[in-house]
A = this chain, B = another copy of it.
Amino acid sequence: MVKRAPVTLADVARRAEVSLATASRVINGSDRQVTPELEQRVITAAADLGYTPNAHAQALARSASNVVGLVIHDITDPYFSSIANGVIRVADRHGLIVMLGTTFRDPRKEIEYASMLRAQRVRALIFVGTRPSSRAMTSRLATELESFVAAGGRAACVSQARLPIDTVVPENRAGARKLARELVALGHKRFAALTAPRSLLTAQERLAGFRDGLAEAHIDLPDEAVTSGPLTRDGGYAAAHELIDRQTGATCVFAVTDVMAVGAMAALRERGISVPGDLSIAGFDDIDTLKDLTPALTTVRLPLQEMGVRAAELVLDGGRPTPRVIRVPGDVVLRESTRDLRSRG
Q: A65-88, CB under 8 A of B: which get 1 and which 0?
A: 101000000111010011011001
A35-43, A143-151, A197-205, A213-221 - the one binding chain B: A143-151
Chain B residues within an 8 Å CB radius of A100: 88, 98-100
Chain B residues within an 8 Å CB radius of A92: 102
Chain B residues within an 8 Å CB radius of A98: 99-101
A319 is an interface residue with CB less than 8 A from chain B: no
A222 is an interface residue with CB less than 8 A from chain B: no
Q: How far is the CB of A22 from chain B (nearest CB, A)?
A: 20
Chain B residues within an 8 Å CB radius of A14: none
Q: How far is the CB of A156 from chain B (nearest CB, A)?
A: 16
Chain B residues within an 8 Å CB radius of A56: 55-57, 59-60, 65, 120-121
A269 to B293, CA, bound (A): 11
A294 is an interface residue with CB less than 8 A from chain B: yes
CB contact between A85 and one of B50, B59, B75, B152 (< 8 Å): that residue: B75
Number of this chain's copies in the complex: 2
Chain B residues within an 8 Å CB radius of A120: 55-56, 67, 97
Chain B residues within an 8 Å CB radius of A263: 292
Chain B residues within an 8 Å CB radius of A4: 150-151
Q: How far is the CB of A80 from chain B (nearest CB, A)?
A: 9
The closest CB in chain B to the CB of A294 belongs to B294
A52 is an interface residue with CB less than 8 A from chain B: yes
Chain B residues within an 8 Å CB radius of A2: 150
A116 is an interface residue with CB less than 8 A from chain B: yes
Q: How far is the CB of A75 from chain B (nearest CB, A)?
A: 5
A228 to B65, CA, bound (A): 42
Could you give 27 example pairs across A and B, Cβ below 8 Å?
Answer: A1-B146, A4-B151, A6-B151, A7-B151, A50-B150, A53-B119, A54-B60, A55-B120, A56-B60, A56-B65, A56-B120, A56-B121, A76-B288, A81-B81, A85-B102, A97-B99, A97-B101, A97-B113, A97-B120, A98-B100, A100-B100, A233-B292, A265-B292, A269-B294, A292-B293, A293-B293, A294-B294
Given contacts A54-B60, A76-B82, A265-B292, 20 further A-B contacts (CB under 8 A): A2-B150, A6-B152, A7-B151, A50-B147, A52-B115, A52-B118, A52-B147, A54-B119, A55-B116, A56-B60, A56-B65, A75-B75, A75-B84, A85-B102, A88-B100, A88-B102, A97-B120, A98-B99, A233-B289, A293-B294
